[in-house]
Structure 1
């Protein structure tokens, strides 16, 4: 089901292996997405397979490669940036908020029984609103979407022990680091580059990142470069040399060694496998 308001698009589809065999996600690949996945599902996200023991929410930006391996009755909400615009929303609930620009982890939010009921109620209200034709439908859908994102951020903060008001500055710092990595990973490969952009020392940057991640800033930056390499290998016809150059590696032999060290496969072997 898809609603269009001028250039603004908002939709909801069932997300399951069977459904997506019949209908591709390619038509909405440039949309921002929120996915509700029932427990005991298996899903592949950016070439990694996950088995989920609990009902789960996943926040997906347009670049993420998604596949429902063994998923039944999932619910996928999708919208374009015109519908939910970064500029007119608070930083925390924007499309570039911590749930979407999260370089620390794949942003799964496991839901307990009560949280899952609350989330499913919002999704049901979205479905009901989409079935109505009313002058206020667009704004109601946007309100429900923001409500879902806000509720999810609260859960995420509690799960990462960052829910205290005094820690808001830490959350904002983590968001800024994540956003900077997304913006600059192709050209900025050193921790010192990001420390300078954030006006902190590399040591202080590592300490702050340790609040949320077991990985070091250097590992996070390198992981983001590797992820982009995988996406380009699988979804484009670019040569390995062209991919290396696009990621600011002038020596493609060095890039080959770098990729192989981090993945256990050469770029050519990875492309063949996927």
Structure 2
């Protein structure tokens, strides 16, 4: 845990949670741009390109954890944060906090800081604090989604696009493909997508493909060539160029920095 201000783009190999008690800015995570005003929590997955524009922050506390320490896929039953707080290209990675929630998270982070300062910090205690933080964050996020406070008014066409993209991202790579399926003009489709998801159709299509690539790199022991084949790229070199263009790192570098999850070996037991 450390104090940081993301005024220049950075990439971290860990899952990262930023706790901002006051101030404002625009949080950029890969293609997304998300305005915020403290107190908030911001969530980032490994090796996303992150920075805060127009930042006016007295301080920013960053809590980082590697999946070797706490694997969100492995703990998915205890804390439903995978796909909610992390690894979701559609949801806003910002959680606004009430004054009471701000106090609660400040207390948890203080407990984590005190434990890590011990001569022999307890991993069990630290995991418990982290699980509590993630569980409370998930509850707040789910409530915000149900109350529609973290997104413009429900757009059924855009929700349909989300479903179509999850079904067809391996085969359909052009915005025009999805506009046709939705019986929308390209301009109207792009405008509504930008408003609803704060990303263009092209960005979402690329991020959805990269999200699956990241999952397979992190959660399996398959080779880069096998993953490229799974994702229907013509060869591993084309896949590597695409992945690096979007993420700024190669598939092998991503795997080297994030490691292979314990989930990769669960099916063998």
Residue 13 (str. 1) matches residue 13 (str. 2): no
Counterparts of residues 111-150 of structure 1 (less than 5 Å): 111-134=97-120, 137-150=122-135
**What do the CA deviations read for 1:54-100 (whole angstroms, capped 9, x no partner)?**
31001110132112442331110111110012453134626634110
Residue 100 (str. 1) matches residue 86 (str. 2): yes
Residue 54 (str. 1) matches residue 38 (str. 2): yes
Residue 36 (str. 1) matches residue 19 (str. 2): yes
Do 1:36 and 1:74's aligned partners in 2 also have CA atoms closer than 8 Å? yes
**TM-fit CA distance, 1:40:** 1.9
- The 1:227/1:89 distance shift into structure 2, 3 A limit, reads closer
Do 1:34 and 1:78's aligned partners in 2 also have CA atoms closer than 8 Å? yes
**TM-fit CA distance, 1:114:** 0.5
- Partner residue of 1:80 out of 51, 56, 66: 66
The answer for the alignment partner of 2:51 in structure 1 is 67
Gaps of 5+ in 1: 1-11, 163-173, 192-201, 203-212, 231-241, 248-274
**What do the CA deviations read for 1:177-232 (whole angstroms, capped 9, x no partner)?**
89x95x984555499xxxxxxxxxx9xxxxxxxxxx9849xx886432355899xx
Aligned residues: 185
Do 1:32 and 1:95's aligned partners in 2 also have CA atoms closer than 8 Å? no
Do 2:25 and 2:37's aligned partners in 1 also have CA atoms closer than 8 Å? no
The answer for the alignment partner of 1:155 in structure 2 is 140
The answer for the alignment partner of 2:263 in structure 1 is none
Distance 1:159 1:94 in 2: 15
Do 1:37 and 1:57's aligned partners in 2 also have CA atoms closer than 8 Å? yes
Structure 2 SS opposite 1:34: strand
Do 1:32 and 1:62's aligned partners in 2 also have CA atoms closer than 8 Å? yes
Normalising by the residue count of structure 1, what TM-score does the alignment of the two structures yield? 0.53
**What do the CA deviations read for 1:104-139 (whole angstroms, capped 9, x no partner)?**
23310000101111011101111001101236x111
Distance 1:86 1:244 in 2: 26
Do 1:40 and 1:54's aligned partners in 2 also have CA atoms closer than 8 Å? yes
**What do the CA deviations read for 1:156-188 (whole angstroms, capped 9, x no partner)?**
1111117xxxxxxxxxxx9xx89x95x984555
Do 2:81 and 2:135's aligned partners in 1 also have CA atoms closer than 8 Å? no
RCO higher in structure (CA 8 A, sep ≥6):
2
Distance 1:35 1:63 in 2: 15
Distance 1:107 1:83 in 2: 22
The answer for the alignment partner of 1:225 in structure 2 is 205
- The 1:160/1:49 distance shift into structure 2, 3 A limit, reads closer
- The 1:105/1:184 distance shift into structure 2, 3 A limit, reads same
